[in-house]
Amino acid sequence: MPLEIPTLAETRALSRDAVIEALRVGALPGNCPAGILADDNGALAFLVLQYIFRQADEYLPDRAGEQMLQRWADIFLPGGRKAATYSVLRATLSGPAGTVVPQGTQFSQGGLLFQSTAAVTLGGTDVATTLTVRALTSGIVGNLSNDSALSLIAAISGVTASATVIGIVSYGVDIESVDSLRDRVLFRIRKPPMGGDADDYVAWAREVPGVTRAWAAPHEVALGTVTIRFMMDDLRASLGGYPIQSDCDAVAAHIATVRPITVSDIYVVPPVPQPVNLAIGNLSPNTPSTRAAVLASLSAMIKQRAAPARAVNGALQPSQTIYAAWQSEAISAAEGVDYFDLSTSDAVMANGGRMATLGSVAFI
């Protein structure tokens, strides 16, 4: 049963009762020394009880706070919590031929600082010379889009005042969230390493910075092969969480360092989105806030339920169908919804590489 502790008032009352019993008196006047000491002792006891109550939560990783959870991660996860990384960008700069832009030259953009990683010699005022800069602030905030301007902190004679971003060499990612870390720790405890089973591949993929979800499908392509699909919900939020080729290469490179040599081939690919479209009739109340709540609830349900082909208890399963009952349940759970009509069927995925995503939702 869950631990319950008395309130401050109850603790003080218990302390007063103990003093009354010890002194063999009928009651304690409110401002008498014994009453004041009893109240103080009760308050101190309440602080101790609060500490014990918190430690009961900290004892296991499913409810531990961030600091204690990191200790669990250091014990169970290779590398512990995934650290934030710094973005590295390619940019172009123009200036008089032969002008050297030293290593460590700083640029700014929107309050962020970037620093060149190597000295470059400019080719001329009409020549765009490429240089590489590294963000001095970690996280996805440094992943600037192409054509972003990087202003020189200190002017260089004859050189244009700003460089132009032309690409990203490596993406910055934020420090792993507490929810993601907790999920990985619990996954590791519940599914300990088994020498290269499907769950091991999921754990290895999720060790890569930016990876939030992963699935492994053994023997999907051929006997002895493993297919890994994964998502990067935060780093690739603008793409719906779906990774790009360089992300797949990074996951494949990491898995190559830890996988058993007996596996013939490994395929690391993104899931292919398959939209689930719905038509909701007679929504009540049919207000913007209710519609927004419905969309949010449907998105959360699909994110939780959707999965491409993957192993479950060692057996290969097809891509997860999004059942009509789940769709109806998600709409009903949306805040403010009274009633609605939903004419739909189970959303069956076309093949093992497909994964459900919320498509168009019509309110009719």
Same domain, yes or no: 96 and 37: no
Query: Residue 281: which pLDDT band, with cuts at 50, 70 and 90?
Result: very high
Q: Is residue 66 part of a domain?
A: no
In this predicted structure, the answer to whether residue 264 has a pLDDT above a threshold of 80 is no
pLDDT at 262: 77
Q: What integer pLDDT is reported at residue 133 of this predicted model?
A: 98
pLDDT, tens digit, for every residue of 62-79? Answer: 999 999 999 999 999 999
Q: How far apart are CA 65 and CA 73, in angstroms?
A: 12
Asked if residue 331 and residue 349 are part of one domain, the reply reads yes
The pTM for the full model equals 0.79
58 exposed, middle or buried (CB, 10 Å; 0-12, 13-18, 19+)?
middle
251 Cβ contact list (under 8 Å, min separation 6)? 205, 208, 211, 228, 230, 243, 268
| Tens-digit pLDDT profile for residues 100-131 | 999 999 999 999 999 999 999 999 999 999 99
Range of the domain at 210: 191-269
pLDDT at site 282:
95
**pLDDT range class, residue 256, cuts 50, 70, 90:** very high
**157, pLDDT greater than 70:** yes
pLDDT digits (tens, 9 = 90+) for 190-247: 999 888 889 999 999 999 999 999 999 999 999 889 999 999 999 999 999 999 999 9
Q: What is the largest CA-CA distance in the chain?
A: 98
Q: Quick check: is 299 in a domain?
A: yes
Residue 284 has pLDDT above 80, yes or no: yes
Dist. CA 156–CA 364, nearest whole Å: 61
Residue 78 placed within a domain: no
C-alpha dihedral over 192, 196, 202, 207, to 10 degrees? 80
Domain count, the chain: 4
Q: Examine the domain organization and report whether 299 and 249 are in the same domain.
A: no
pLDDT in tens, 13-59: 999 899 988 988 878 877 888 888 999 999 999 999 999 988 888 88
- Of the three residues 241, 269, 297, the one that is the final residue of a domain is 269
> In CATH, what number is assigned to the domain containing residue 264?
3.30.300
pLDDT at 1: 60
Q: Is residue 232 part of a domain?
A: yes
Question: What is the per-residue pLDDT for 152?
Answer: 97
Residues 296-324: tens digit of each pLDDT:
999 999 999 999 999 998 899 999 999 99
